[in-house]
Every structure is written in structure tokens, then in C-alpha cells.
Amino acid sequence: MADSLTGISFRYAGFWLRMVAGAFDAGIVLIAMWLLAWVFNVDYAALEPTEAELNSIALIEAGSVFAGWIYFASMESTAPQATVGKLFLGIYVTDLAGERLSFGHASLRYWAKVISTVILFVGFFMAAFTRHKQALHDIVASSLVLKR
């Protein structure tokens, strides 16, 4: 049966598949962040970090946001249309017509995740309740997450 939103029949990826893929991808970004902390010799557990350590932590945090953007936008806009976590679970990201996202479109989707995060992750939970299994950032970016 064709979908009224797109006129095309899709198999939408549900909340739990997306959550597991997201956790896997967050782990990849976290490992990159830990590697940066190791390279800069930053102790995140320090009770009283020095000013230099605080500056390094801020640089690492900004670097991880930038790295996350490049990771998600580039992976979701290339031929597989998926991050490593999504590939592992057999899901991928498309526009509303089922086509691959451009890097700019995938970037919009990534930055819209900030909204989903800032509102206490409610934007992510929306994927469990919306008809097309879209999270807030998917609605903002006019994108879908589908099963292969």
C-alpha cells in the first residue's frame, strides 16, 4: 500500500532499531573523543582541572561535535546512506522520495538533532509515535529512516 506522505511504499525503521544504531554510533564518536583526550593528555576525572585542562576539554568537546557532524553527514549522504550503526542493523536514511540525501541535507538533519537533544531527547522519542517513524530531526529535515 502506498504511503499518503510520499505515494511510495516504504518499510520504516522503528524506534528501537534506531536507538540501538544511535547508541552504536555514539560509541564510535565517544571513542574518537577519548582518543583526542589521550592525545592531549586530558584527565576528565580530575576534581580540580587546571585552566589549561579546561581549555583542552572545551577544544575536545568542540572537536567531537565537529567530528560527529562530519561522521553522520558524510556517511548518510554517501552510497550506503547509513552510519556504521545503521549499516549493522540494516537501516538507512533517505529523503521523502526514498532518494539519497545530499551532504547539505544530511548536515541539516545532523544539526536538527541538537533540537531533539536539547528538549530532553523528546525529539528522538517521537520516532516511536509518529506515523512514518520520524524523529523531530527527520521532520525538520524532511527525511526518513528505512529498513533495507
pLDDT (tens digit per residue) in 57-86: 888 888 888 989 999 999 999 999 999 999
Measured CA to CA, the distance from residue 142 to residue 38 in angstroms comes to 38
- Radius of gyration of the CA atoms of the chain, in A: 17
Nearest to 43 by CA among 30, 56, 31: 56
Which three-class secondary structure state does DSSP give residue 4? coil
Measured CA to CA, the distance from residue 105 to residue 141 in angstroms comes to 7
Query: pLDDT value at position 1?
Result: 44
As a whole number, mean pLDDT of residues 110-131 equals: 96
Task: Indicate if the pLDDT at residue 5 is higher than 60.
Answer: no
Cβ of 30: how many Cβ atoms within 10 Å? 12
Q: What is the chain's mean pLDDT, rounded?
A: 92
pTM above 0.85, yes or no: yes
Query: pLDDT value at position 2?
Result: 53
One-letter amino acid for residue 138 of the chain: D
For the chain, the structural domain boundaries read: 15-147
